[in-house]
């Protein structure tokens, strides 16, 4: 089996361990296989792939897209290490406002599946990091939204107190200030 699927404390978020085949030449692994993912409760079709490069201390997030262009994500790190975070923003969910995190790195090669209805962010722990993610809907600027990275009502334990933020991320609203995009 090319993948091991581990539901997290919020079980809709799933940490995925791919099987890695190594020899003297290097390694090979599958990053996505639709039939395997569907068999483990991830029936999504991914329609866009993105790659970001960031330096140590960078924090990107917490981002999401509202309907009708809401996005599920499959995220992975191909160089470096990040703390990856997902926040449940589905108002009717028993875990609304709760968060889960995982260390993703080029060494552990773990991935995280984050479904629609979650805000997502990450903080770069290594000197640099290359982050790749697949999404279930294309980027739609009119649906692009976010939540303040250090919202005290969420209480994420970030490894930095003064991260490198984009001007956009530095001015995001608190969870209580966002619309009910996910009832």
Answer yes or no: 113 catalytic: no
Cis amide prior to 43 (ω within 30 degrees): no
Q: Which of 6, 40, 63, 110 is the catalytic position? A: 63
From residue 9, how far is each of 32, 99, 165 by CA, in Å? 23, 9, 28
| Residue in the structure block whose two tokens are 């108002």 | 91
Contact criterion met (CB below 8 Å) for 13 and 112: yes
For domain 46-177, is the CATH number 2.60.120.10?
yes
Per-residue pLDDT of the chain (183 residues; tens, 9 = 90+): 689 999 999 999 999 999 999 999 999 999 999 999 999 999 999 999 999 999 999 999 999 999 999 999 999 999 999 999 999 999 999 999 999 999 999 999 999 999 999 999 999 999 999 999 999 999 999 999 999 999 999 999 999 999 999 999 999 999 999 988 898
Q: Which of 53, 64, 133, 139 is the catalytic position? A: 133
Query: What is the C-alpha end-to-end distance of the chain, expressed in Å?
Result: 36
Nearest one of 168, 44, 2, 17 to 104, comparing CA atoms: 17
Answer yes or no: 133 catalytic: yes
DSSP assignment string, 131-155: EEEEESS---GGGEEE--TT-TTT-
């Amino acid at each position: 089996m090319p993948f091991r699927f581990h539901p997290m404390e919020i079980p809709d978020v799933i940490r995925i361990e791919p099987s890695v085949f190594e020899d003297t030449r290097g390694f090979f692994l599958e990053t996505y296989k639709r039939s395997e993912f569907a068999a483990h409760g991830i029936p999504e079709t991914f329609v866009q792939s993105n790659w970001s490069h960031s330096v140590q201390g960078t924090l990107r997030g917490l981002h999401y897209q509202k309907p009708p262009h809401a996005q599920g994500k499959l995220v992975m790190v191909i160089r470096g290490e990040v703390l990856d975070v997902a926040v449940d923003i589905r108002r009717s969910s028993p875990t609304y406002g709760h968060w889960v995190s995982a260390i993703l790195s080029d060494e552990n090669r773990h991935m995280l599946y984050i479904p629609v209805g979650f805000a997502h962010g990450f903080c770069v722990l290594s000197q640099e990091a290359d982050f790749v993610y697949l999404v279930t809907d294309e980027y739609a600027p009119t649906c692009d939204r976010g939540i303040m990275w250090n919202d005290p009502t969420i209480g994420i334990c970030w490894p930095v107190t003064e991260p490198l933020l984009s001007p956009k991320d530095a001015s995001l609203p608190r969870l209580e200030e966002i619309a009910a995009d996910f009832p």
